[in-house]
Chain A
Amino acid sequence: MGKATREAFGEALVELVDRFPGLVVLDSDLSKSTMTADFAKKHPQRHFEFGIAESNMIAAAAGMALMGKVPVCTSFACFLIGRLETIRVAVTLNRANVKLVGTHAGLGIGDDGASQMGLEDLAAMRALPGMTVLQPGDALEAKQAVEWMLQHDGPVYLRLTRQKLDDVHKPDYKFACGKLDAVWEPEPKAKHFQATVIASGGTVGGAVAAAKDLQPKGFAVRVVNAGTIAPFDADGLADFARDSQRLVTVEDHNVAGGLGGAVCEAAAALGLGKPVVRLAVRETGESGLPAELYEKHGLSAPHIVDACIKNLEQP
Chain B
Amino acid sequence: MLTELAASTKGLRADIIRMIAAAGSGHPGGSLSVIDILAVLYDKHLRHDPKRPDWPQRDRLVLSKGHAAPALYAVMAQRGFFPKEELMTLRRLGSRLQGHPERHRLPGVEAATGSLGQGLSIGLGMALAARLDGTGQRVYVVSGDGEMQEGQVWEALMAAAKFKLDDLTLIVDHNNGQIDGHVDEVMPIDPLAEKLKSFGWDTRVIDGHDLGAIDAALSAAKAVRGKPQAIVAMTVKGKGVSFMENNIAWHGKAPNQSETEKALKEILHG
Contacts and interface: CB of A to CB of B under 8 A. Distances in A.
Contact of B152 (A45, A59, A68, A94): A59
A56 B126 contact: no
Contacts of B15: none
Interface in B130-150: 130, 132-133
A178 to B, nearest CB: 23
Interface in B112-133: 112-115, 117-118, 121-130, 132-133
B155 A63 contact: no
A277 interface: no
A71 to B, nearest CB: 8
Contact of B129 (A58, A59, A67, A90): A67
B103 interface: yes
B5 interface: no
Contact of A62 (B56, B104, B122): B122
A30 interface: no
A230 B155 CA distance: 31
B159 interface: yes
B77 interface: no
Contacts of A86: 115, 118, 121, 152
Contacts, number: 104
Contact of A53 (B123, B126, B129, B159): B159
Nearest to B128: A64
Contacts of A63: 62, 111, 121-129
A59 B125 CA distance: 7
Interface in A59-94: 59-69, 71, 85-86, 88-90, 93-94
Interface in B64-118: 102-104, 110-115, 117-118
B152 A51 contact: no
Contacts of A67: 60, 125-126, 129-130, 133
Decide if the interface of chain A is mainly helix, strand, loop or mixed: helix
Contacts of B183: none
Contact of B111 (A53, A56, A71, A94): A94
A59 B62 CA distance: 12
Contacts of A65: 125
Nearest to A49: B162
A158 B130 CA distance: 27
Contact of A66 (B118, B126, B158): B126
A229 interface: no
A55 interface: yes
Interface residues of B, number: 33
A55 B62 CA distance: 17
A55 B155 contact: yes
A94 B155 contact: no
A167 B102 CA distance: 44
A59 B121 contact: yes
A55 B121 CA distance: 8
A164 interface: no
Contacts of B62: 63
Contacts of A51: 155, 158-159
A24 interface: yes
A87 to B, nearest CB: 10
Contacts of A64: 125-126, 128-129
A59 B121 CA distance: 5
Given A60-B124, A63-B123, A89 B112 contact: yes
B122 A95 contact: no
14 contacts: A53-B155, A53-B159, A58-B121, A60-B125, A60-B156, A63-B122, A63-B126, A64-B128, A66-B122, A67-B60, A69-B132, A86-B115, A88-B115, A89-B113
B123 A24 contact: no
Contacts of B123: 63
A92 B194 CA distance: 35
B118 to A, nearest CB: 5
Contacts of A60: 121-122, 124-125, 128, 156, 159
Contact of A93 (B112, B132, B152): B112
Nearest to A28: B155
Nearest to B127: A63
Contact of A56 (B112, B115, B121, B132): B121
Contact of B104 (A55, A89, A90, A95): A95
Contacts of B128: 48, 60, 63-64
A86 B156 CA distance: 13
